[in-house]
Amino acid sequence: MTLIDRLHRGVTTRSAAETRTVAAELSALLPADSALALHGDLGVGKTTFVQGLARGFGIDAEVTSPTFTIYTLYRSSSGGPPGFTLVHLDAYRLDSAAQMEGLLLDDFLTTPYCLAVEWPDKIAGWLPEGAWHLDLALGASGSHSLRLRPALGL
Ligand SMILES: Nc1ncnc2c1ncn2[C@@H]1O[C@H](COP(=O)(O)OP(=O)(O)OP(=O)(O)O)[C@@H](O)[C@H]1O
Ligand SMILES: [Mg+2]
């Protein structure tokens, strides 16, 4: 079964490292210029997942939760696609899609890129239509779960 099929059924991870590995593997399967909406409550592993994406895209910089910024841009340095940008957006402090206008984020979504969004429901109307939606949750006895929603139109 492919990773995408497994993610549609739901994948359980037992450590942050395992979540990063799943994310790194997924990074290779994402279409060009994709958007990935990471749904789930505090501490379910959204930022951890973005760390794995970054590793998969050949980004050496450490990915952290943006505390004072809403988004962070990471350029791949080692072996990733040339000129590639990972855009990590944390919408937690935003209240509406309208607030996205002022951030001028569109200017940074130049090909090739991947946009990863934490708290996507805060800016639901702004997300690209083709965004992939991943639900993250805490499972039993310390595990975490990842599940990819069916693509729209399927
Ligand atoms: N299987 C797992 N997958 C992901 N994270 C795990 C797992 N097991 C333990 N953890 C730990 O859970 C925490 C997840 O925190 P993380 O910052 O990734 O969550 P978040 O969803 O981004 O939270 P927030 O909503 O506050 O931004 C980390 O400390 C990580 O090490
Ligand atoms: Mg986070």
User: In ligand 1, which atom is closest to the CA atom of 90?
Assistant: 27
Q: Assess whether pLDDT exceeds 70 at residue 79.
A: no
Cα–Cα distance for residue pair 117/114, rounded to 1 Å: 10
Per-residue pLDDT reduced to its tens digit, 45-59: 999 999 999 999 999
Which residues, other chains included, contact 21 with Cβ-Cβ below 8 Å and sequence gap of 6+? Answer: 52
Number of domains composing the chain: 1
Determine, yes or no, domain membership for 25: yes
The C-alpha R_g of the chain, in whole angstroms, comes to: 15
Compute, in angstroms, the gap from residue 71 CA to the centroid of ligand 2.
11
Determine, yes or no, domain membership for 153: no
Per-residue pLDDT reduced to its tens digit, 19-32: 999 999 999 999 99
Q: Please report the pLDDT score of residue 76 as a whole number.
A: 86
Q: Please report the pLDDT score of residue 71 as a whole number.
A: 93
Determine, yes or no, domain membership for 154: no
Q: What is the pLDDT of the chain when averaged over all its residues? A: 92
Which tokens in the block code for residue 134? 């991943």
Q: Assess whether pLDDT exceeds 70 at residue 61.
A: yes
Which tokens in the block code for residue 76? 């791949």
Specify the CATH number for the domain of residue 17: 3.40.50.300
User: In ligand 1, which atom is closest to the CA atom of 119?
Assistant: 25
Q: Whose CA is nearest to atom 1 of ligand 1?
A: 15
Report DSSP letters for 46-100, one per residue.
HHHHHHHHHHHTT--SPP---SS-SEEEEE--SSS-TT-EEEEEEGGG---GGGG
Ligand 1: which residues within 6 Å by Cβ? 13-16, 18-19, 40, 42-48, 65, 118, 144
Q: Which ligand is nearest to the CA of 145?
A: 1
Helix (H) or strand (E) segment spanning residue 64: none
Q: Which of 51-55, 68-72, 111-115, 142-146 has the lowest mean pLDDT?
A: 68-72
65: closest CA among 82, 89, 81, 87? 89
Determine, yes or no, domain membership for 73: yes
Q: Please report the pLDDT score of residue 77 as a whole number.
A: 76
Determine, yes or no, domain membership for 15: yes
- Domain extent, residue 112, equals 3-148
User: In ligand 1, which atom is closest to the CA atom of 49?
Assistant: 18
